[in-house]
Amino acid sequence: DSNKKFAGKTVLITAGPTYEAIDPVRFIGNHSSGKMGFSLAEEAANRGAKVILISGPSSEKTNHQDIEVHRVTSAKEMFAKVFEYYENADIAIASAAVADYAPKEIAQEKIKKNDDSLTIELVKNPDILKTMGERKTKQFLVGFALETQNEEENAKGKLHKKNLDMIILNSLRDEGAGFKGRTNKIKIITESSLTEFPLKSKEEVARDILNFVEDQMLK
């Protein structure tokens, strides 16, 4: 089937938020729904790929037989799961909104409401995508950048710093882009190009992204 452009390829995708525990009942998280990552997984599988989808807490589901879903909670768990599969991946796409920091200590018991203020010390989480860039052998590596200011400059910075082949920029300044909703508005940035797309459903955005990956890999 000539439409199965990713036949024989393994695609590793991260999706969703991570939750960083504060105590047994509370966490630090973010608004990612996992929709963008699950849409990418469906589209890659429809093109014949074997997909390893590593998702933080999300209510998204898939029944596609060529998508293997691994559910994780924290950034450290996502890191560990990603590197069980990264070495064999041909394409890796990081659409997860990974928490940059996690509480230094997780309280064993529910924190009581005693004091007027409460300080939680945070420490940096491992950067999963940056580590993928450092360990890159054959992988075509795609990152996302969720920005609120100096968008293109910041995205280009991440392209270089994380040793990526391309980066998808979505801006929270664009209506209908980014978290939660069913739509997204992206720019695809490579070393030598910047391509802007209109507002579309996340399914259509996934198609645009994988078309672009296909073109880049054939070059």
Angle between helix axes 202-218 and 35-46 (nearest 10 degrees) is: 50
Q: Of 99, 92, 84, whose CA–CA distance to 16 is shortest? A: 99
- Binding characters for ligand PMT, 70-99, by CB under 6 A (x = yes): -----x------------------xxxxx-
- Binding characters for ligand PMT, 124-143, by CB under 6 A (x = yes): -x-xxx-------------x
- Minimum Å distance from CB 132 to ligand PMT? 7
Paired tokens of 161: 């710093």
Q: Of 58, 87, 91, 88, whose CA–CA distance to 72 is shortest? A: 58
Paired tokens of 64: 């596609």
Q: Is 66 annotated as belonging to a binding site?
A: no
- Minimum Å distance from CB 175 to ligand PMT? 14
Q: Among residues 45 and 186, whose Cβ is nearest to ligand PMT?
A: 186
Considering only the stretches 45-53, 62-70, 107-115, 176-184, report the one whose residues sit in contact with ligand PMT under the rule CB under 6 A. 176-184
Confirm if 56 and 18 have CB atoms less than 8 A apart: yes
Q: Which residues contact 112 (CB under 8 A, 6 or more apart)?
A: none
Q: Which residues are catalytic?
A: 30
Confirm if 17 and 35 have CB atoms less than 8 A apart: no
Distance CA 25, CA 205 (A): 35
Considering only the stretches 33-41, 62-70, 84-92, 209-217, report the one whose residues sit in contact with ligand PMT under the rule CB under 6 A. 33-41
Binding of residue 213 to ligand PMT (CB under 6 A): no
Among 20, 34, 102, 165, binds ligand PMT (CB under 6 A): 34
Among 12, 28, 32, 151, binds ligand PMT (CB under 6 A): 32
Distance CA 133, CA 91 (A): 12
Over its C-alpha atoms, the chain yields an Rg (Å, rounded) of 18
Contact residues for ligand PMT (CB under 6 A)?
14, 16, 32-36, 75, 94-98, 100, 125, 127-129, 143-146, 158, 170, 178-180, 202
